Structure formats: structure tokens, C-alpha cells
Amino acid sequence: MSKQQFQTEVSQLLQLIVHSLYSHPEIFLRELISNSSDALDKLRHLTLTDDKLKSLVGNGIDAPRIDLTLDEENKTLTISDTGIGMNEEDLVAHLGTIARSGTKNFLAQLSGDAKKDSNLIGQFGVGFYSVFMVSDKVEVLSRKAGEDKTFKWTSDGKTGFELEEATGDDARPTAGTTVLIHLNEEGAQYASGYRLQEIVKKYSNHIAFPIFLTYEKSDWNAEKKESEKSRVTEQVNAASAMWQRSRSELTDEDYKEFYKSITGDWEDPLFWFHTRAEGTLEYTTLFYIPSKAPMDLYQADYKGGIKLYVKRVFIMDDSKELLPPYLRFVRGIIDSEDLPLNVSREILQQNKVLTSIKTASVKKILSELKTIASNDPEKYAPFIAEYNRPLKEGIYGDFANRDALLDLVRFKTTKADGLTSLAEVKGRMQPDQKALYFITGGSESMLRNSPLLEIYKKKGIEVLLLDDDIDEIVFSSVPKYGDLDLKAVNSATASEDLKDETAPEKSEELKPLLEKIKAMLGDAVKDVRASSRLADSPSVIVSDEDEPSARMRQMMRAMGQKELPEPMPTLEINPDHEIIRKLLTDPSNSRVEDAAWLLFDQALLLEGVPLKDPAVFVQRLNRVLNQSI
């Protein structure tokens, strides 16, 4: 028997682990199962490629499996696999040192602050040594495939380990590794078959090899009216990483069942996108679009819907880092071959591998949706009914994919029934139309009746009706659709587009009246000018491109922004309207002041802006009413 010290780095790492770096000691099982799964993967590969090992299959190499055996009474758990195994040198090298480059560097970075260090260690990975969170004595019996001897490695996880050749009952008849764990106080909770099943299902359900559990099972004997204990061996995992199979092997039913098993949803998903990437980065993604938007879609503390796996080992399932927030309704899995197993949430945020996977995944989801939208609008409609709004958030938040998202979002317009795409609106443009126009700021019926649309109706120009409360914020940040300008109908530049030749003359004639009204309205307006966009209404409020509109200001205030400079809207007057004509022919009319304020207030009301002083408005209205009756 030889007694050996751990490499200094191992001792340091062990110290760190045992001093509760992990808040979930249960992950020890995930780590050991994952090691077994790796060992089985390696041997599987060799039995396919190495003639000597190929010949040993069935005679020294058993069928791949992982066995968990629980001894409830003695509080021991063994994890045994039929994988590649380790010889004496391997055991020293793998379970006595940390061979990874950068280990020293990593340990030097540790600060002693458990929280900070746990993030770092997440990136580094603790692997096998995590077993010492639940045990003070671990025995490893291992026999390397193709060799005869079994070696026994024993350690208390403190200073070092003992190594000897295993004989008698300890000698393994076939290749593989058995890890015998004497559970300590912390680990005693895992001396339960039910608990182990739960952990295996949670973390290792889709490990590609069968995992069997031997434990003391209690069954209710109805006749005797008592529970009976019996020792049983049951397979506890599904043993198929469904997403690792090729698309051609899988039926629609397979996809739907798997969706239901991971989401608990009763309904079938709308669509799914299954991709395997090979090259610099290797990963598989399987994304589903639920037929109904998740209940928490609009809650700040929504749960992310993507499960992250590393080499088929479950890592986490509620991270918000796996897809951008606007795709929070997507469900499914990302399985990476390149991430470390212990990747922590904090690490995920800056991990380059994950960033690349995320970028590619977003592109994939959006392009698949685009294909459905163009090939099968009927299939696309229920998707839009549920998810148009989150896509709009993407237009605002995901600059890199804005163009793709603009093509996916659907709109109400003044011409089309139902919803339509920007591409379709573009296709219906008038020959001399200079831009695409939209109107925001109220309910659909308010928008449809807005005076701002009068001239567009007259000219046959289609206008997008943006009646969602986030539309104004979203679309004020989108200057273009392709090479076409996108303009709000109440913006000054939209009115430029509509100007006709007669306008300058009219504005000359109107000048004295405009100045008079401006003087009367004082600080309430920035300017009063002749309008080129009104047909039936006498007045309208417009705002400058670079200034938030009246309604936007209201929203900003509601969201707690108090320091907003007072809005200075511009009032536009329709030179052809009867009221204005009357005021023009009788400049000394005593009612000009009331008229000026009423023209302004009614324009505000149509914009959906509440009046600052409704009482004054009503008094004025009654005065004018009284004079006219």
C-alpha cells in the first residue's frame, strides 16, 4: 500500500469545496454520473476503433451501464460504471492532481470570499472532488479496460490518499470504476432511494446510458395493511438524449411528447426547431414555441424556458442568459459540448461559447419563423396572435436583428383587414409616396378617426395603426424599414412630404392670424402654423421628430421620470376649414381668443392628452355655445 499526498492545488481546492462553496451538495451525484458517462463514452469509442478492445466486449468489457447501489443501514452509496476505468498511474494522475493548465493561476485568483470564489470555481469545475461535500471517506475501485488488475484508491479528502492493488471481493471482474461513498452527516440525506431518484431525474435523465438504482423499496400491502420492504433494482433515467438523435429518426409525436415532458404543457407546441452545429463550436439546440404564451410573459420575474445541458448533463433551467428577454416564451434545450460542467450563472453572462451559441440561436429562431411566415401564413397567424408584442420588444432591444424582426412583426393598417406585414404595405405604396407612415397614441378607433389621417385617406396612402402601448416607444426608435423612411404622421417631416404648391400662398394669407393665435396661447405652444395634412378638421397637434410626443411624455411620467421639460407642441391650423376662414374674414372677432384655445384643446383631446384645466375648457365651450345658440 502506498500513501500519497495530494498535490497542493488539490488540497486547496478540497478546502474550498468543503467550506461550502456549493449551496447544493446534491450536485456531487451529477458530477460522478457525468464522469461515469464520460468513461462509458470513451470506452464506447475505443471498442469501435481499437481492435484489441473490440475483441474484449462481452469478455472483460460489459454492456454500458451505471449502477447506483444504496445501503441505507450503513449509509453508503456506490456508483459503478462499466466504462474505461483507471489503472494505478491514472488514479494518481486523475484523482491526486489537477492536470488542467491554468490551475495555479485559477487558485491565485481566489479571494477567500466564498461567494466570489464560488463563481470562479464554477468556471473551473470541481468534478470528482465534490464528493467530499457529502463524505469523509471515499473508496474508488477501478480496472482499466484491457488490463487485469483492479486498484483501490482511498481518501478522507483531507491531505492525501492511499493506493493499493485490490484483491478478493474488491477485485473487479470486468473493466470500469466503482466509487464507494461513506456518507457523512451532510450526506446522510442522500441515503434515500426516493431522493436519489429525484436527483437523477432532475440532472441526469437524459444521460445516454441507463442508470439503475438498487435500494430498499417500501410497497403498501393492501391485504396485510402494512408497508413491506423489498430490495429492488430499477432503471431511473430515460437514458435517451432525445435531442441528440437526428431529425430523420424522430417523429412529430416524439417531438411533441418531449416538449410536454420538459414543459408540463398539455397542448402541442406550435413549432419546433432542432439544430446541430458542428465546427469550431459543437452544440445541439431544440427550441419549441408553445401554442399559448406563458402566464408570466409580462412579469419582470418570468422564468426562462431554456434548459442548459453540457454534454447531455443538465446544468440549469431558469437562466435568463440563454436567450434574449424578448424570446422568453421559447422553450427547449441547449446542449453544448464546449462549456465546463460547473458553469455558474455569473459565468454564463460573459462566457464566449455561450454568447456565440446564443447569437446563432436567435438568428436560427428568427429565420425559421420567417420561413413559416412566408411559406405558411395560416400557420404563422396563431404565432402572431400570441407573440407579436414580445417581437416588438426585440425591435427596440435587439439592434443586430432589427431588420429580421421588422419582417416578422404584423400590423393593423388603414387599408388591410386583419394584420399585415411591412413588406406588404411597402408593396402597396403609391407611386409618389416618399416614406412609410404610422400613427400612434391611442386605441384603434381613436387612431382610425384621427384628423392626422385625413390627408392620407385622400391621397390613398396606407398608414400603419400602432395601437399597442409600447408601439410609440418602439417605433420612435426605428428610422427605417430597409431603405424606406418610417415616419410618424404627426411629425414635422411627414408633413413636409405632403406639402403641395399652394401652401406658401395660404400661409402668407394666414400669417397675421397665426401670430395672433400664437400670442394668445403663449407658452402652451412652440409654434402655430398652417397645416398641409388636414382635410376635415380645423386643427391638430404635431411634435418634432427629436422630441417625445405628448403621449410619450405621459408614459415617461407614469414610469417615474419627473424631470421632463414642459412639452411644447406645435399647433397646426387647417387653412381651408370653415372656422378658420371665418376667423380670417373677421380678424377683429371678439371670439378669437376662445376659438384659439378651443382649437388647441380639441387637438389635444384627439391626441388622447388630458387637458390641464378641464374647467376652463368647459367654461369656454359654454361661452361659445351660448353665443351661437
Instruction: Give the residue ranges of the annotated binding site for ATP.
Output: 31, 35, 81, 86, 101-102, 123-128, 177, 345
How far is Cα 197 from Cα 212, in angstroms, rounded to an integer? 10
Q: Which residues are annotated as a binding site?
A: 31, 35, 81, 86, 101-102, 123-128, 177, 345
How far is Cα 100 from Cα 449, in angstroms, rounded to an integer? 70
Check if the beta carbon of residue 561 is closer than 8 Å to that of residue 541.
Answer: no
- The residues pairing with 609 across neighbouring beta strands, listed in sequence order, are none
Minimum gap (Å) between residue 82 Cβ and ligand ATP: 10
Query: Any idea which residue has 502506498 for its cell?
Result: 2
What mask of x and - would describe binding to ligand ATP in positions 296 to 315, judged by CB under 6 A? --------------------
Minimum gap (Å) between residue 345 Cβ and ligand ATP: 17
- Write the DSSP assignment of 93-111 as a string of letters: HHSSS---TTHHHHHHH--
> Taking CB under 6 A as the rule, does residue 193 contact ligand ATP?
no
> Taking CB under 6 A as the rule, does residue 177 contact ligand ATP?
yes
Looking at the Cβ atoms of 124 and 273, the one nearer to ligand ATP is: 124
Check if the beta carbon of residue 177 is closer than 8 Å to that of residue 85.
Answer: yes
How many residues touch ligand ATP under the rule CB under 6 A: the total is 18
Choose among 419, 308, 287: nearest CA to 353.
Answer: 308
Choose among 166, 210, 233: nearest CA to 33.
Answer: 210
What mask of x and - would describe binding to ligand ATP in positions 95 to 134, judged by CB under 6 A? x-----------------------------x-xxx-----
Q: Which helix (H) or strand (E) holds 412?
A: strand 412-413
How far is Cα 396 from Cα 471, in angstroms, rounded to an integer? 10
Amino acid making up residue 206? H
What mask of x and - would describe binding to ligand ATP in positions 323 to 342, judged by CB under 6 A? -----------------xx-
Tell me the CA end-to-end span of the chain in Å, nearest whole number.
Answer: 115
Contacts of ligand ATP in 47-76 (CB under 6 A): none
Question: Which of 75, 94, 137, 364 touches ligand ATP by CB under 6 A?
Answer: 94
Backbone angles phi, psi at 572, to 5 degrees: -110, 140
Looking at the Cβ atoms of 70 and 95, the one nearer to ligand ATP is: 95
Backbone angles phi, psi at 227, to 5 degrees: -90, 140
Q: Which stretches within 76-226 are classed as H helix?
A: 88-94, 103-109, 114-124, 193-204
Minimum gap (Å) between residue 127 Cβ and ligand ATP: 2
Looking at the Cβ atoms of 85 and 575, the one nearer to ligand ATP is: 85
Looking at the Cβ atoms of 38 and 485, the one nearer to ligand ATP is: 38
Looking at the Cβ atoms of 178 and 361, the one nearer to ligand ATP is: 178
How far is Cα 329 from Cα 317, in angstroms, rounded to an integer? 14
Position closest to ligand ATP via CB: 127
Minimum gap (Å) between residue 39 Cβ and ligand ATP: 3
Minimum gap (Å) between residue 281 Cβ and ligand ATP: 17
> Taking CB under 6 A as the rule, does residue 442 contact ligand ATP?
no
How far is Cα 548 from Cα 74, in angstroms, rounded to an integer? 72
Looking at the Cβ atoms of 84 and 486, the one nearer to ligand ATP is: 84
Contacts of ligand ATP in 73-92 (CB under 6 A): 81, 83-86
Contacts of ligand ATP in 24-43 (CB under 6 A): 31, 35-36, 39
In three-state secondary structure terms, 231 is: strand
Looking at the Cβ atoms of 310 and 530, the one nearer to ligand ATP is: 310
User: Chain centroid to CA 30: how far?
Assistant: 25
Minimum gap (Å) between residue 546 Cβ and ligand ATP: 53
Number of neighbouring beta carbons within 10 Å of residue 380: 22
Residues lying near ligand ATP in the complex (CB under 6 A) = 31, 35-36, 39, 81, 83-86, 94-95, 125, 127-129, 177, 340-341
